[in-house]
Amino acid sequence: MARYEVYVTYKQGIFDPPGATAERALSHLGYEGLNSVKIGKYIQIDADADLATVREMCDRLLANPVIEDYRIVVEGEA
């Protein structure tokens, strides 16, 4: 059994309204030096599956390649 941590984020250049709102709110709270804040999704999968299968899960359902990129971190035994 392996644990896969999947991070889904918008592709470069796609406007992320929740991220922009968080950025503005942090700036209102007085934090300086903010360059950008992006909000994405974290998906944790514990499965008897190889990396290729988890990639397939991302391509078919978990991420939309038109607007999103994903990154998979393999955390080993769950």
Partner 1 sequence: MRLGVVIFPGSNCEQDVVHAAQTLGIDVGYVWHGDTELEGFDAVVLPGGFSYGDYIRCGAVARFSPVMTEVVRFAERGGPVIGICNGFQILTEAHLLPGALLRNTGLKFICHPQPLRVERSVCDWLDLPEGTVVDIPVNHNEGNYYCDSETLRRLHGGGQVVLRYCEPDGSLASGGSAPNGALDDIAGICNERGNVFGLMPHPERAVDPLTGTTDGRPFFTAIVERLAEVAG
Nearer to partner 1, 13 or 76 (CB): 13
Dihedral pair phi/psi, residue 37, rounded to 5°: -125, 125
> C-beta of 64: minimal distance to partner 1 in Å?
6
The DSSP line for 2-38 is: EEEEEEEEEPTT---HHHHHHHHHHHHTT--------
Nearer to partner 1, 52 or 66 (CB): 66
> C-beta of 59: minimal distance to partner 1 in Å?
12
**Interacting residues with partner 1 (CB under 8 A):** 14-15, 17-18, 21, 61-62, 64, 66-67
Nearer to partner 1, 17 or 30 (CB): 17
> C-beta of 77: minimal distance to partner 1 in Å?
26
Q: How far is CA 31 from CA 7, 39, 48, 66, in A?
A: 25, 18, 43, 33
